[in-house]
Amino acid sequence: MLLSGGLSAYSGQSSQPNHSANTSAQKPKRVSVHDPSVIQDDGTYYVFGSHRAYASSKDMINWTPFTNNLSHDYRRVLSSVWDSWPKQSATPDVKGNMWAPDVYYNATMKKWCMYLSLNGAEHRSVIVLLTSDKPNGDWTYVGPVVYSGFTRANYMRTDVPKVLGNDPTLDRYQSYTDTGINAIDACVRDDGQGGLWMSFGSWFGGIWMIRLDPATGLRDYGTTYTTKPNTSDAYYGHKLAGGFGNSGEGSALIHTKGHWYLVLSYGKLEQTGGYQMREFRADTITGPYLDQHGTPAISTASAADNWTDRTGIRLMGSYQWSGDPKGDIEVSQGGNSILHDKDGADYLVYHSRFSDRGEEHQLRVRQLTSTSDGWLVAAPYEYLGTKMGRPHTAKEESGRYELVTHDPTTYFRGTRKVTDTKSTRYRGVNKAVNIVLRPDGRVTGERKGTWRSDRGDRITITIEDDPYPATYQGITAMLPRDKDHRKVMTFTALGDNTCIWGSQV
């Protein structure tokens, strides 16, 4: 096949094996789990999502739904806390308001702990703790962990008096500028020094973190916090990100490669809402979290659409390789969690919507790896059992590629039929362009620059004329393509706060 941009003069030959298309490859067994939280236990992976969606897998490729007592007996299990706080005329039934559970094994309690968001109107929500002896249930209700939406009229029905006293000033808890949050989207992590922490929250007031008591799994009432704008709050603890009405939810934390990483979802979760995952990192679990530019995750001013700015590293956008089925273009990815597996590999588990399927969503898994300067980047293809990490030669890595640049300022805006060509235009999709990584170190084709192979599976690519010209640090890997499972050389790289992917033709 001859590529555009003057590439036909280069044969692309290398010592890479001739991997034929795997025509016998089975399609992964898919499930729909929104806002998935992932764990691994005794050789089985489990995901837990909003609206009582649960699934398990032996390989993180083929998933099978399962049920527990929260699937069918949720009203009885949660009746006491639902009736006492989130239930209102606008949200009369708990059924559609069980959101984004996070499951964590508490070694002190010797219990699996589920931190479940019960969502109410006017941000009157609560994160509660349930426990189980096994990850697939059944679950026993323990108690509330943190509240939101409280006012002078109702705060006595929460734990606010226990934290702030009997006559606190509460105006700031209704302000989007400061701490007007929705208490949803828990993420519980051990800091490795005996501290157990839970991040939570949602736009508009940002993402926060409080310390938990390992002995109970509930809030550690012995830990207190000062109230300091954009830094900390006496009730909500440490501020990690967001605020001032800006989007940001679904915080996921992981400690790996010597840093704490925070990945959260910007935008709105609908197909055309710009949902996307942004990355920051810190030296300690409580922050401050910064992106590659050194920009803080915490907002200090309102932005009209912060999902179209360049704060935070966007792990992926809506993208399309040549030959991808047009109806299966991934768009609006987010609601993620991160798994550090027992073999040391890290995985990003998230839900995605698609270009031609409306609000239908499915679970996806990608391996995460780190650049030479310690930033996490996602594999160009979903995880199908092949792990990244094998060293390659420069001769293997040279050749013709498709290049996708994940423009952080764009998002999927729907489709439009082009009458004269009887085709479909996918607005806001990052489409692949053709480049060559030449053996002499030049990048040619539809982008110009230079490249070099570094230390086995490391690569440095300088793009001079891309919409985002930069020097990108990346990793190469032989991975199976989504469309046909044929293994090809790929790279994933980061530069100037922007991610790029490459797939060898």
Among 162-166, 320-324, 488-492, which is the least confidently predicted range? 320-324
Q: Are strands 430-431 and 319-320 parallel, antiparallel or unpaired?
A: parallel
Lowest mean per-residue pLDDT among 187-196, 197-206, 318-327, 395-404: 318-327
Closest by Cα among 165, 163, 245, 252 to 200: 252
Predicted local distance difference test score (pLDDT) of residue 48: 98
| pLDDT for the residue 17 | 36
Q: Which of 18-22, 175-179, 201-205, 264-268 has the lowest mean pLDDT?
A: 18-22
- Strand 423-427 relative to strand 430-431, pairing: unpaired
Percent of the chain with pLDDT over 70: 94
Measured between alpha carbons, how far is 355 from 332 in angstroms, rounded to an integer? Answer: 9
Q: How many residues does the chain have?
A: 505
Asked if 488 contacts 18 with a C-beta cutoff of 8 angstroms, the reply is: no
Q: Is 122 left (phi over 0), alpha (psi -120 to 50) or beta?
A: left
Of residues 21 and 237, the one with the higher pLDDT is: 237
Contact 78, 141 (CB under 8 A): yes
How confident is the model at residue 326, as a pLDDT? Answer: 76
Residue 184's CB: how many other CB atoms inside 10 A? 24
Asked if the model's pLDDT at residue 20 lies above 80, the reply is: no
Distance from C-alpha of 436 to C-alpha of 475, rounded to nearest angstrom: 17
pLDDT band at 466 (very low <50, low <70, confident <90, very high): confident
Cβ atoms within 10 Å, residue 264 = 32
pLDDT at 327: 78
Confidence at residue 324, expressed as pLDDT on a 0 to 100 scale: 86
Q: Specify whether the CB–CB gap between 368 and 380 falls below 8 A.
A: no
CB of 381 within 8 A of CB of 480?
yes
Q: Is cis: bond before 92, omega within 30 of 0?
A: no
Residue 149 pLDDT > 70: yes
For the stretch 376-408, pLDDT in tens is: 999 999 999 999 989 999 999 999 999 999 999
pLDDT band at 2 (very low <50, low <70, confident <90, very high): very low
- Average pLDDT of the residues of the chain: 93
pLDDT in tens, 54-101: 999 999 999 999 999 999 999 999 999 999 999 999 999 999 999 999
Mean of pLDDT values over 353-363: 95
Euclidean distance between CA atoms 231 and 44, whole angstroms: 39
Burial of 27 (C-beta count, 10 Å sphere; 0-12/13-18/19+): exposed
The per-residue DSSP string of 295-324 comes to: -BSB-SS--S-GGGS-SSEE---SEE-TT-
Q: 173: how many CB neighbours lie within 10 A of its CB? A: 24
Contact 350, 36 (CB under 8 A): yes
**Residue 292: DSSP 8-state:** T
**Which range has highest mean pLDDT (37-41, 168-172, 319-323)?**
37-41
CA-angle at 346, arms to 343 and 348, nearest 5° = 140
What residues pair up with 443 in beta bridges, in sequence order?
437, 449
What's the rounded mean pLDDT across residues 467-493? 96
Residue 15: what pLDDT? 35
Beta-carbon contacts of 231 under 8 Å, excluding residues fewer than 6 positions away, are 238, 239, 298
Average pLDDT over residues 470-480: 97
Q: What is the DSSP letter of 326?
A: G
CATH class of 394-504: mainly beta
Instruction: Tell whether the model's pLDDT for residue 436 goes beyond 90.
Output: yes
Residue with tokens 């979290």: 289
Q: What is the pTM of this model?
A: 0.94
Mean pLDDT over residues 363-377, rounded? 97
For residue 138, whether the previous peptide bond is cis, meaning omega lies within 30 degrees of 0, is: yes
List, in order, residues 6 or more apart from 102 with CB less than 8 Å away. Answer: 37, 48, 114, 115, 185, 186, 187, 188, 337
Weakest-pLDDT range from 300-304, 419-423, 475-479, 482-486: 419-423
pLDDT given at position 217: 98
Tens-place pLDDT, residues 203-247:
999 999 999 999 999 999 999 999 999 999 999 999 999 999 999
What is the C-alpha separation between 249 and 259, in angstroms, rounded? Answer: 21
Distance between CA atoms of residues 453 and 458, nearest Å: 6
- The DSSP bridge partners found for residue 367 are 347
Q: What is the pLDDT of residue 23?
A: 36
pLDDT given for residue 455 in this prediction? 77
Give residue 189's pLDDT: 98
pLDDT digits (tens, 9 = 90+) for 91-145: 999 999 999 999 999 999 999 999 999 999 999 999 999 999 999 999 999 999 9
Paired with 300 in beta bridges are: none
Query: How far is residue 76's CA from residue 87's CA, in Å, rounded to a whole number?
Result: 14
For 94, list phi and psi in degrees, rounded to 5: -70, -20
Q: pLDDT tier at 328 (50, 70, 90 boundaries)?
A: confident
* Best CA proximity match to 385, nearest among 404, 401, 365, 412: 365
More confident residue, 423 or 405: 405
